[in-house]
Structure 1
Amino acid sequence: MKENRFKRAIVQGRQQIGIWSMMREPMVTEMLGQLGYDWILLDCEHTPNDEPGVMAMLQALSACETEPMVRPSCLNVAEIKRLLDVGARNILIPYVQTVEEAELAAAAVAYPPAGIRGVSNVSRAAGFGAAPDYFVTARDEICLIVQIETGAALDRLEDIAAVPGIDGLFIGPADLAASLGHPGNPKHPEVHAAILDGIRRIRAAGKPAGFLSPDQGLLEDVVSAGCVFTAIDMDLSVLRRGAMARLEACRTIRE
């Protein structure tokens, strides 16, 4: 198996800059992969993405240095199994709130006897049967990240971080803001303080911390607090801002 550069980097505390992808288009994925980002998140939670679509995007990234990460729609063992089989190896599980959920996530990405991942000899991940040692070595190159997105999850952060098999934790600002009573306002002082405190606590627990925001000031704050895998924008947002800016620059053509 290829070494998981992303996993090695965040364990070593080396900053990894990422971009969030909401667009279901392998050509866009390939273009983003050629830009020099360390990682790209392929989202299935808030998009119509599914396993065949994810596989096409993973194939589009196969010649790139950018490491793909995939977020399933939820903590669904069957969906996680299919995503792993098509080649995902950096997995971000949304909305993990308890130790029991973290334990289930860890079990879902490991083969028995350590976990409950189903075995397929001819999956894309196993080289279609050409990598007989895959089942022994796979977990070493899989990186499991869980999202901390609620006040309840923050209360249990250290316990979740201590679950064997959890490779990193990611603070989700939008859902956290809503959970704390400030929906749509991750810049609220209470939310801002909770985000930074969460990042520091993750690092104090000995795990890598991740975050997403297009807000440059907030990004600088979380990196200062210890965030080591940082998504700096979303492809749809970049497209919208660029298209709007270009339209504004050319409105005089109508006159």
Structure 2
Amino acid sequence: MTLPKNRFKQWLGESRVPVGTWLMTASPNVAEAIGFAGFDYVVLDMEHVPVDVPQAIAIMQAVAGTPADLVVRLPWNDPVMVKRVLDSGAQTLMFPYIQNAEEARQAVASTRYPGRGFRGVAAVHRGSRYGMVKDYLKEADREIGVILQLETPEAVAALPEIAEVEGVDALFIGPGDLSAAMDRIGEIRHPEVQDAIGEAVAPGLARDLPCGIVGADPALVGEYIAKGFAFVAIGSDMSLMMSRAQEYLAALRGEADTQENSGVY
């Protein structure tokens, strides 16, 4: 058996912009349904959703049967969690709240086996298809994708140094936390925040390093694509469900649906 190709990592080298969404319900059934909805990828959020590793595996299994690829956002830049999630079968990891090049190097090293990093070695687990993937220990590093999330002005200022770290496949600007760190919490559409987002993508573009972002609605996500973001996400399974429910209720009650999502997903 051969090692599965990392489709998300391949897409980063293409001209089209992959479109994804967040998984916030912690439901394998919902994850599977969203995987069939037409998104290129879905993000399993282990940072803000109370998902443990066995639950994460169930969601990975559900998404694996759909056309969508899976990205796992980790709870933290924690080598132990990285090891467990990779052994569970994830191939693309998003590391939250990376502040500098040193933290970036730790993130990358935690995904690589000794010689290139310090990932712990185990032979029989879901990632290696329970030992059936030939030469998994030698080949695994090649198909692992590393996305680093920058969420503060300090992190954005350090972007040129972070982008030079070997093994970083993409960056991701976190608009919610960035707005909060700019003392504009909940004001993602504020011109100061949007200007900062636009400025953040430029150093990545200059280094041919793809940058991603998430937005709450098609108009905002369209603006991000125009700014040069190489991959985007829109909302989440939860926000899509809630917005549709509010839309239907407003129509039935003859009310205007004026509710605006103040977050990003």
TM class by smaller structure: over 0.9
1:11 positional shift? 2.2
Tell me what 2:229 maps to. 227
**2:115 alignment partner in structure 1:** 113
1:214 aligned residue (210, 216, 232) = 216
In 2: Cα distance, 1:219 partner to 1:70 partner: 21
TM-score by length of 2: 0.92
Task: Give distance in 2, aligned partners of 1:197 and 1:13.
Answer: 21
CA distance in 2, matches of 1:206, 1:158: 12
Say which SS state the counterpart of residue 172 (structure 2) adopts.
strand
| Structure 2 CA distance for aligned equivalents of residues 150 and 108 of structure 1 | 23
Partner residue of 1:85?
A: 87
Q: Give the distance between the partners of 2:220 and 2:68, measured in 1 at CA.
A: 24
Give the match's secondary structure for 1:15: coil
Moved more, 132-141 or 99-108: 132-141
Q: Which residue of 2 aligns with 1:99?
A: 101
Percent identity between matched residues is: 38
* Counterpart contact for 1:13–1:208, Cα < 8 Å: no
| CA deviation vs aligned residue, 1:112-156 (integer Å, no higher than 9, x gap) | 110111111111001101113111111111110000100000110
Q: How far apart in 2 are the matches of 1:62 and 1:237? A: 23
Local SS of the residue matching 2:146: strand
Describe the superposition over 1:160-186 as per-residue Cα deviations: whole angstroms up to 9, x where unpaired: 011011100000000000111111111
Superposed displacement of residue 25, structure 1: 0.6
1:113-132 equivalences in 2 (<5 Å): 113-132=115-134
Which residue of structure 2 lines up, in the alignment, with residue 54 of structure 1? 56
Displacement of 1:14 in angstroms is 2.6
Against the structure 1 CA distance between its residues 102 and 13, is the aligned structure 2 distance closer, same or farther, given a 3 Å change threshold? Answer: farther
Structure 1: unaligned runs, 5 residues or longer: none
Cα deviations by residue, 1:75-132 (Å, 9 ceiling, x for unpaired): 1110111111111111000000011100000001111110111111111001101113
Q: Deviations over 1:2-51 (max 9, x none)?
A: 21121111123431010111111100011111112110000011110111
Name the residue aligned to 2:185.
183
- Secondary structure of the corresponding residue to residue 11 of structure 1: coil
How many residues matched? 252
2:69 is matched by which residue type in structure 1?
A: E
Aligned letter for 1:18? G
Q: RMSD value over aligned CA atoms? A: 1.2
SS in structure 2 at match of 1:69: strand
Q: Secondary structure at the match of 2:12?
A: helix
Equivalent position to 2:24, from 22, 25, 31: 22
Distance across 2 between alignment mates of 1:198 and 1:37: 25
CA separation in 1, counterparts of 2:151 and 2:50?
21
Please state how far the C-alpha of 1:249 moved relative to its aligned partner.
2.5
Structure 1 distance, partners of 2:98, 2:25, is 24
In the other structure, the counterpart of 2:207 is 205
Partner of 2:174: 172
What is the Cα deviation at residue 198 of structure 1?
A: 0.9
**Superposed CA offset, 1:186-235 (max 9, x none):** 11111100101111221112201100002333212221121111001211
Give the structure 2 partner of residue 64 of structure 1: 66
